[in-house]
């Protein structure tokens, strides 16, 4: 559905309002002025808004996609230049600069407003004039408050809070629809209809385009079709297998969310064709634009390289501007109404299929005191609200009826060995399913004899953990561990369980691990009765800053979380590849979790689908799907879930032993000195 056509009538209806507010904003700097020192801020932001008006008209008139590549590159630079490294230090989007010029009370607020207005790039590309208009009206209203004197801070914050409450349906309603509705085809049309050999298509999204996107798109364009088929085949077959393995029905599902980064369109196009053969129409959507819909720890949807990760980090908590109980209650009601409007699409939705990337240098954030941050009350409110939104979502898109798959590939920024690493990654993503299934079953058979498992580090790694397992009532028919091969999480392989929390205790340490966009150095977490009691990392000299980063990225602002998963990764081929190219610290958790034991804090792997009966390939039922917290769903669902599941892996090189202990105290070795010692799994050591 052409967005210009879809929004045509709505845009015509709001055009008068748009023109009226632009008549107020356009002359700022020439005819109108604000009190000092705010005058420059309003001039800079109004200049950006005027540029967006020109972009919108260029798109709306159909001229944008006719521009030559140099013209599109120029547009892209103009739109993002204000936040690029080198320019960001003197941008009003930078809360430090804004605070320096406008004062500590105003800097974070005005930087947050400008960051929200910068989302108009996406709105202009998608012909969404209503979103542009209401934001401009907010900006004009706030400008009016500064014409004669500096207003009271609370008055401006109240105006902004009212804006987010009034526009919640516009923000949340559209986001809910675009997550589920295959009839919305902005991104899909780019993938399916554009000439992917013409690099101009990358600029049609409105996302920032770096050399990285151009290089990966060009690289994929020159791969043989059989290689693209192999990549897309592993990805789509993994999705299909996920339904079968989890005992869920793919029949009746009509859509799948295809999530990718710019540059991977050729693979996405082939995957969409293969999904269509399964009866699934692709849903493609942009990563969130409104702060209301953003997650500070991940992006969901298509996006390009970050123009500046520090900019994104500085604005991760812009919701602090308006977050209160009144807003979260209203947003939850709006979300429920939005799902009600697309409930048919929700029933037909199968879940996401994600293409991740890796290879970028680790981001070392600078914690700025001027950046907006959540108060203690807002943190608690955020957690409660996330749980409420998850419950609403699960009512309309039940977790026990959907599945997913994730696959990852390197980006050119990984270095000079990019092509070889890409080839090796394809090999890793297509390892022999049946062979790993047999070897992992041997590991499970040994672990199922244990009452608990001990995991220790070696060298400088001081990991020492005891993990309690569920008691099997009938070992001939039941198992604690899932035999996970290449389905929902590609590549193979791991065996995993949900531990018993009581008695699970000890220290988890990892020298270096990527989680989200952050590389953690010397991450340490301590557990008692399966719950986190302390944590920290060495990313900063200031230990409290390290704790704050762990709390944000891993703990998702919870004070404590339980261990939701204990797993043993078996993909020694991936580990050997990482060692050969020296890229262990650049691999995503998706691959790293297969390269040693890993632990997830938060929900179990089976959250919202614990009652689904699941069997391993050997016919045994997996009974370890709950723990002492998740089982509370039967009494009070609000106490059972945390809306997060964060994996942390110990690589083989830092691993001492993994062994089970049975009811007689007998030791059951699984890994010793980083090598598998289970009969039937010896081949896993060949790559090492």
pLDDT at 359: 93
3-class secondary structure, 36: coil
**C-alpha–C-alpha distance, residues 445 and 453, integer Å:** 13
In this predicted structure, the answer to whether residue 515 has a pLDDT above a threshold of 90 is no
Q: What is the pLDDT of residue 608?
A: 86
pLDDT band with cut points at 50, 70 and 90 for residue 368:
very high
CA distance 603 to 475: 26
pLDDT at position 2, please? 73
Backbone angles phi, psi at 105, to 5 degrees: -70, -35
- Whether 396 and 285 map to the same domain: the answer is yes
What is the share, in percent, of the chain residues with pLDDT greater than 70? 100
Classify residue 279 as left (phi > 0), alpha (psi -120 to 50) or beta: left
Q: Which of 228, 362, 357 is nearest to 304 (CA)?
A: 357
Of 395, 213, 122, 175, which is closest to residue 295 (Cα–Cα)? 175
- Rounded average pLDDT over 214-224: 98
With respect to residue 436, please indicate whether it lies within any of the assigned structural domains.
no
- Give the SS3 label for residue 523: strand
Comparing 204-213, 293-302, 342-351, the range with the smallest average pLDDT is 293-302
Calpha distance 626→614 (Å, rounded): 13
Does residue 423 belong to any structural domain of this protein? no
Same domain, 243 and 298: yes
**Reported confidence tier of residue 546, pLDDT bands at 50, 70, 90:** very high
Look at residue 556 and tell me if it is in a domain.
Answer: yes
Residues 108 and 183 in one domain: no
pLDDT bin (cut points 50, 70, 90) of residue 494 is very high
Instruction: Evaluate whether residue 430 is within a structural domain.
Output: no
What is the Cα–Cα distance from 330 to 338, expressed in whole angstroms?
12
- Would the pLDDT of 488 be above 90? no
* Distances from the Cα of 486 to the Cα of 236, 241, 428, 618, angstroms: 11, 8, 10, 16
The 10s digit of each residue's pLDDT in 53-86 is 999 999 999 999 999 999 999 999 999 999 999 9
286 has which bridge partners? 302
Q: Which whole number is the average pLDDT over 415-424? A: 96
Round to whole Å and give the CA distance between 659 and 662: 10
For the stretch 242-260, what's the b/e string if a residue is b when 16 or more beta carbons lie within 10 angstroms of its beta carbon?
Answer: bbebbebebeebebbbbbb
* Percentage of the chain exceeding pLDDT 90: 87
Q: Is pLDDT above 60 for 1?
A: no
Q: Return d(Cα 181, Cα 163) in angstroms, integer.
A: 27
**Model pLDDT for residues 257-292, shown as the tens digit of each residue:** 999 999 999 999 999 999 999 999 999 999 999 999
pLDDT digits (tens, 9 = 90+) for 233-263: 999 999 999 998 888 999 999 999 999 999 9
Question: Is residue 249 domain-resident?
Answer: yes
The answer to whether residue 218 is domain-embedded is: yes
Range 532-537 average pLDDT:
98
- Peptide bond between residue 24 and the one before it cis (omega within 30 degrees of 0): no
Are residues 327 and 188 part of one domain? yes
What pLDDT is recorded for position 3?
A: 82
Asked whether residue 596 falls in the same domain as residue 470, the answer is yes
Query: Taking residues 320-326, what's their average pLDDT?
Result: 97
Largest CA distance in the chain: 86
Examine the domain organization and report whether 511 and 656 are in the same domain. yes
- Alpha helices by DSSP H, listed for 582-663, are 589-592
Answer yes or no: do 141 and 261 share one domain: no
Cis peptide, bond prior to residue 686, ω within 30 of zero: no
Q: Specify whether 255 is located in the same domain as 379.
A: yes
Mean pLDDT of the chain: 95
The Cβ of residue 324 has, within 10 Å, a number of other Cβ atoms equal to 14
Q: Provide the domain count of the chain.
A: 3
Residue 286 and residue 325 in one domain: yes
Question: Does any domain span residue 171?
Answer: no
User: For residue 497, which of 511, 480, 515, 514 has the smallest C-alpha distance?
Assistant: 480
Distance CA 188, CA 168 (A): 26
pLDDT digits (tens, 9 = 90+) for 552-611: 999 999 999 999 999 999 999 999 999 999 998 888 888 988 988 999 999 999 988 898
Give the integer Cα–Cα distance in Å for 367 and 362: 16
CA–CA separation, 344 and 103 (whole Å)? 50
Q: Are residues 211 and 292 in the same domain?
A: yes
Mean of the pLDDT values across residues 668-677? Answer: 93
Helix (H) or strand (E) holding 527: strand 518-528
In 279-433, where do the E strands start and end?
281-283, 349-358, 405-410
Under the banding of pLDDT at 50, 70 and 90, the label for residue 486 is: low
Rounded average pLDDT over 108-123: 98
Average pLDDT over residues 374-385: 94
Q: Which two tokens stand for residue 214?
A: 């151009």
Domain membership of residue 654 as a residue range: 443-685
H/E run at residue 544: helix 543-553
Do both 191 and 148 map to the same domain?
no
Quick: pLDDT tens for 10-46.
999 999 999 999 999 999 978 888 899 999 999 999 9
Residue 455 has pLDDT above 90, yes or no: yes
Report the pLDDT value the prediction gives residue 145, as an integer from 0 to 100. Answer: 96
Q: Are residues 40 and 91 in the same domain?
A: yes
CA distances, 682 to each of 103, 440, 456, 596 (Å): 64, 11, 21, 15
Last residue of a domain, which of 348, 382, 407?
Answer: 407
CA pair distance 208, 111, nearest whole angstrom: 20
Exposed e or buried b for every residue in 144-174, given b needs 16+ CB within 10 A? Answer: ebbeeebeeeeebeeebbebbbebbbbbbbb
Give domain status of residue 619, yes or no: yes
């Amino acid at each position: 559905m052409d967005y210009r056509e879809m929004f045509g009538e709505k845009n015509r209806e709001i055009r008068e309002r748009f023109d009226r507010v632009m008549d107020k904003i356009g002359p700022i700097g020439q005819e109108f002025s604000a009190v000092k020192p705010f005058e420059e801020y309003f001039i800079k932001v109004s200049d950006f808004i005027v540029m967006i008006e020109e972009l919108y008209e260029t798109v709306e008139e159909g001229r944008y996609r006719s521009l030559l590549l140099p013209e599109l590159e120029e547009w892209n630079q103009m739109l993002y230049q204000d936040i690029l490294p080198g320019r960001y230090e003197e941008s009003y989007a930078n809360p430090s600069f804004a605070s320096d010029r406008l004062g500590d009370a105003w800097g974070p607020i005005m930087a947050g407003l400008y960051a929200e207005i910068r989302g108009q790039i996406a709105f202009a590309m998608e012909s969404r004039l209503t979103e542009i208009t209401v934001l401009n009206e907010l900006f004009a209203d706030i400008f009016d408050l500064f014409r004669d004197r500096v207003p009271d801070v609370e008055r401006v914050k109240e105006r902004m809070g009212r804006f987010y409450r009034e526009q919640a349906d516009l923000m949340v309603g559209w986001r809910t629809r675009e997550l589920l509705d295959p009839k919305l085809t902005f991104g899909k049309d780019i993938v399916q209809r554009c000439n992917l050999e013409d690099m101009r298509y990358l600029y049609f999204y409105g996302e920032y385009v770096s050399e990285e996107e151009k290089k990966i798109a060009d690289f994929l364009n020159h791969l043989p079709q059989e290689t693209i088929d192999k990549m897309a085949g592993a990805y789509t077959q993994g999705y299909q297998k996920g339904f079968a393995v989890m005992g869920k029905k793919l029949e009746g599902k009509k859509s799948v969310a295809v999530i990718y980064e710019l540059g991977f369109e050729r693979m996405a196009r082939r995957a969409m064709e293969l999904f269509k053969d399964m009866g699934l129409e692709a849903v493609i959507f942009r990563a969130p634009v409104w702060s209301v819909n953003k997650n500070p720890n991940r992006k969901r949807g298509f996006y390009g390289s970050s123009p500046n990760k520090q900019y994104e980090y500085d604005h991760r908590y812009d919701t602090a501007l308006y977050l209160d109980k009144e807003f979260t209650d209203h947003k939850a009601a709006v979300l429920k109404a939005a799902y009600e409007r697309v409930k048919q699409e929700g029933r037909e939705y199968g879940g996401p299929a994600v293409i991740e990337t890796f290879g970028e240098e680790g981001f070392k954030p600078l914690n700025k005191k001027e950046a907006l941050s959540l108060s203690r009350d807002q943190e608690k409110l955020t957690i409660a609200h996330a749980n409420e939104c998850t419950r609403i979502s699960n009512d309309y898109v039940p977790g026990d009826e959907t599945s997913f798959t994730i696959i990852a590939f390197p980006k050119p920024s990984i270095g000079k060995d990019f092509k070889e690493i890409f080839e090796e990654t394809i090999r890793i993503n297509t390892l022999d399913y049946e062979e790993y299934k047999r070897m992992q079953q041997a590991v499970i058979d040994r672990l199922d004899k244990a009452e608990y498992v001990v995991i220790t580090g070696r060298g400088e790694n001081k990991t020492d953990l005891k993990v309690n397992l569920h008691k099997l009532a009938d070992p001939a028919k039941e198992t604690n561990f899932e035999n996970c091969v290449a389905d929902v999480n590609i590549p193979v392989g791991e065996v995993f369980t949900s531990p018993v929390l009581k008695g699970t205790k000890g220290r988890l340490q990892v020298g270096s691990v990527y989680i989200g966009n952050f590389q953690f150095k010397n991450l340490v977490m301590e557990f008692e009765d399966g719950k986190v009691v302390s944590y920290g990392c060495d990313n900063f000299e200031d230990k409290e800053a390290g704790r704050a980063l762990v709390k944000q990225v891993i703990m998702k602002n919870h004070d404590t979380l339980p261990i939701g998963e204990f797993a043993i990764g078996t993909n020694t081929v991936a580990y050997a590849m990482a060692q050969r190219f020296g890229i262990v610290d650049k691999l995503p958790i998706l691959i790293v979790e297969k390269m040693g034991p890993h632990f997830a804090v938060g929900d179990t792997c089976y959250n919202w689908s614990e009652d689904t009966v699941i069997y391993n390939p050997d016919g045994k039922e997996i009974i370890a799907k709950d723990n002492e917290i998740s089982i509370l769903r039967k009494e009070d669902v609000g106490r059972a879930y945390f809306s997060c599941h964060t994996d942390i892996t110990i690589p083989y090189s830092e691993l001492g032993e993994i062994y089970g202990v049975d009811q007689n105290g007998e030791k059951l070795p699984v890994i010793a000195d980083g090598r598998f010692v289970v009969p039937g799994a010896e081949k896993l050591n060949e790559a090492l």
